[in-house]
Chains A and B, each alone.
Chain A
Amino acid sequence: MNQLVGVFRGPWAIAVYTYREGIRKRTLIGFLILSLLVIFGSSFISAFLDPTSRTDIELKLIKDICVATISIFGALITVFTSASVVPNEVENKVIYSILSKPIRRWQYLLGKFLGAQLIILVNLALMGILFFAALYIRQGVMPTLLLWALLLTYFEFLILSAFTFAISTAATSPVLPTIGGLFVYITGNLTEYLKDVQNRAGQTGKWLDDLLGQIAGILYDVLPNLQNFSLRNQIVNGMPNDPPTDVLIPNLMAYGLIWAVGGFLLAWLIFWRKEL
Chain B
Amino acid sequence: MSRKQKSPEGNGKNGVVPAIRTFNLTKVYEGARASQDVRALTDLNLEVQPGEIYGYLGPNGSGKTTTIKMILGLIFPTSGHVEVFGDGDIGSARVKKRIGYLPEGAYYPDFLRGEEILKYYGRLYGLGGKELDRRVSAVMDQVGISHARKRLLRSYSKGMRQRIGLAQALISDPDILILDEPTTGLDPIARKEIRDILAGLRDAGKTLLISSHELLEVELICDRVGILFEGVLQRQGTLAELLETRDLQVEVDGWKPELAGQLPPKGITLEDAVGGRARLRMPSGTGAEAAVALCRELKLNVASIMPRRETLEELFVRVVKSAKEESLAAAAPAGEDTR
Contact = CB atoms under 8 A, between A and B. Distances in A.
Nearest to B112: A20
B128 A275 contact: no
Interface string B115-137: 00000110111101000000000
B37 to A, nearest CB: 14
Interface string A41-55: 000000000000000
A9 B106 contact: no
Contact of A24 (B69, B111, B128, B169): B111
A216 to B, nearest CB: 32
B74 interface: yes
A94 B76 CA distance: 19
Interface footprint category on B: 20 to 34
Given A96-B103, A100-B101, A9 B126 contact: yes
B124 A101 contact: yes
A102 B111 contact: no
B211 interface: no
B98 to A, nearest CB: 10
Contacts of B104: 93
Interface majority SS (helix, strand, loop, mixed), chain A: helix
A102 B124 contact: yes
Interface size classification for chain A: 20 to 34
Contacts of B121: 97, 101
A17 interface: yes
A143 B120 CA distance: 40
A92 B125 contact: no
A9 B127 CA distance: 9
20 contacts: A6-B126, A9-B123, A10-B126, A13-B124, A14-B124, A24-B111, A94-B107, A96-B103, A96-B106, A97-B101, A97-B165, A97-B168, A97-B169, A99-B72, A100-B74, A100-B96, A100-B101, A102-B96, A102-B97, A276-B74
Given A97-B103, A97-B165, 19 more contacts: A9-B128, A13-B120, A17-B120, A93-B107, A94-B108, A97-B101, A97-B168, A97-B169, A98-B124, A99-B72, A99-B73, A100-B74, A102-B124, A102-B125, A102-B126, A103-B96, A275-B74, A275-B76, A276-B74
Interface of B: 69, 72-76, 93-94, 96-97, 99-109, 111-112, 120-121, 123-126, 128, 165, 168-169, 172
